[in-house]
Amino acid sequence: EILADGEPHSGEDIGSRLGVSRAAVWKLVDQARRAGLDIRALPGAGYRLPAPLTLLDAGRISEALGTDVHHYRRLEVRLATGSTNQDLLQDSAPLDHPVALLAEHQSAGRGRRGRHWLSPMGASLYLSVAWPLGVPVAGLSGLSLVAGLAVAEAVDQICDLQVGLKWPNDLYVGRRKIGGILVEVSGSPEGPCKAVIGSGLNCRFPEGVEDTDIDQPWTDLYRASGIAVDRNQLAAAILAQYARDLPVFERDGFTPFVERWNRRDILLDQPVILQLGQESATGIARGVSELGALVLEENGRRRSIAGGDVSLRPDRP
Ligand code: ATP
């Protein structure tokens, strides 16, 4: 909080404000750096962030949500956690209303199938919601697409961008990945169930993050739009969009979202390679079906691919 203004602060000043020694300040700085916070040391002047940082704040998110705040029973911000999805999955309290959890840092952020999600401190939005849904688990195909669409539309509203989607759960600007969705579900197969919907959205990564840290082309909102976005506004826009879209999904399934999703599909009508576990398939991507499955055209014949361990890539020569 002291460094968030982007101004230099001496170790002595920080120490006296926190009531700790300079050695303890150095340890805290080291800890925050290891969590990914880009703290610069200035010889003789102390420490500073490269730019001011608006910290996540549950009060400001609630305020920005306006009357939509009533859709959520609880809205909580943590400084650090392992994974916001994991926290909500573990929460055994009965879920009558949606709850939202955000963190400044995830030490074990995850993507699909145990893949790692790079989650530096203060650099992204790590936002999970737990949503009670009166449908059986089998009826949830398409939920991660609805969530990705909601996040893309919220980002466009706030940052004036054109966020694209790659089936099933990735957000792109141009050909670079900027975010992703991870849906995890608990409940009996007959329903109702609890869906935990996590989103990771890169806002402003530290300069030190290189292409080698993420094994595919990536970007963040600052690099893509030049906007240092207020993550509280962004979180509120996403939560408001979820509150509009998820009840529609619960009632009508994925059908009402097909067109909106296909308009943002970065691989629509393009040659693609699909990795299905050990096998691969090539064809033309023809958007998504009314169940949220990928439609792949192979030699003029179309088939739907529902999900599982599937990775989709453009098929460039
Ligand atoms: P693919 O990206 O191949 O379609 P996927 O959708 O299953 O696979 P996810 O599980 O959504 O991928 O995300 C994990 C992958 O995303 C990682 O393996 C890494 O390549 C990439 N990644 C990790 N952290 C980030 C990040 N902060 N921003 C963008 N991409 C990331």
Answer whether residue 275 shows pLDDT above 60. Answer: yes
CA proximity to 247, closest of 127, 128, 134: 134
Nearest CA to ligand 1 atom 13: 111
- In this structure, the strands spanning 164-166 and 124-133 are unpaired
Residue for token pair 């179309």: 302
Each residue of 20-58: pLDDT tens digit?
A: 999 999 999 999 999 999 999 998 889 999 999 999 999
Nearest CA to ligand 1 atom 26: 118
Strands (DSSP E) found in the chain: 40-42, 46-48, 74-81, 99-106, 124-133, 164-166, 170-173, 176-187, 193-202, 271-276, 279-288, 294-298, 301-305, 310-314
Each residue of 137-187: pLDDT tens digit?
A: 888 989 999 999 999 999 999 999 999 999 999 999 999 999 999 999 988
**Residues with catalytic roles:** 112, 177, 313
Q: How far away, in angstroms, is 169 Cα from ligand 1 center? A: 9
Structure tokens at 203: 């806002």
Structure letter (DSSP) for residue 292: S
Q: Is the dihedral of CA 243, 246, 251, 255 positive or negative?
A: positive
Structure tokens at 82: 């392992």
Ligand 1 cavity residues, CB under 6 Å: 111-112, 115-118, 169-170, 177, 180, 200, 202, 214-216, 218, 311
User: Can you list the pairs that 33-41 forms with residues at least 24 positions away whose Cβ atoms lie under 8 Å?
Assistant: 35/80, 35/105, 35/107, 35/120, 35/121, 36/105, 36/119, 36/120, 36/121, 36/122, 36/123, 36/206, 37/120, 37/121, 37/122, 37/206, 38/206, 38/207, 38/208, 39/3
Give the nearest ligand 1 atom to 119 CA. Answer: 27
Q: Which residues pair with 198 in a beta bridge?
A: 128, 182
Q: How far away, in angstroms, is 17 Cα from ligand 1 center? A: 40
Mutate which of 110, 112, 313 for ligand 1? The one with the most ligand atoms within 8 Å of its CB, which is 112
Q: How far away, in angstroms, is 238 Cα from ligand 1 center? A: 20
Q: Are 158 and 233 in contact (CB under 8 A)?
A: yes
Q: How far away, in angstroms, is 180 Cα from ligand 1 center? A: 7
Answer whether residue 317 shows pLDDT above 50. Answer: no
Q: What is the mean pLDDT of residues 305-314?
A: 86
Give the nearest ligand 1 atom to 124 CA. Answer: 27
Structure tokens at 176: 């670079």
In the chain, % of residues over pLDDT 90: 85
Give the nearest ligand 1 atom to 200 CA. Answer: 27
Of the ranges 109-118, 129-138, 306-315, which one carries the lowest mean pLDDT score? 306-315
Q: Residue 211: what pLDDT?
A: 65
Average predicted confidence (pLDDT) for the chain:
94
Q: How far away, in angstroms, is 112 Cα from ligand 1 center? A: 8
Mutate which of 216, 266, 280, 315 for ligand 1? The one with the most ligand atoms within 8 Å of its CB, which is 216
Q: Which residues pair with 79 in a beta bridge?
A: none
Structure tokens at 21: 């020694």
Predicted model pTM: 0.95
Structure letter (DSSP) for residue 256: G
- What span, in angstroms and rounded, lies between the C-alpha atoms of 196 and 242? 12
3-state secondary structure of 228: coil
- What span, in angstroms and rounded, lies between the C-alpha atoms of 150 and 154? 6
List all residues 6 or more positions away from 151 whose beta carbon is below 8 Å from its beta carbon: 163, 171, 179, 181, 199, 201, 238, 241
Of the ranges 58-72, 73-87, 131-145, 247-261, which one carries the lowest mean pLDDT score? 131-145
Nearest CA to ligand 1 atom 9: 111
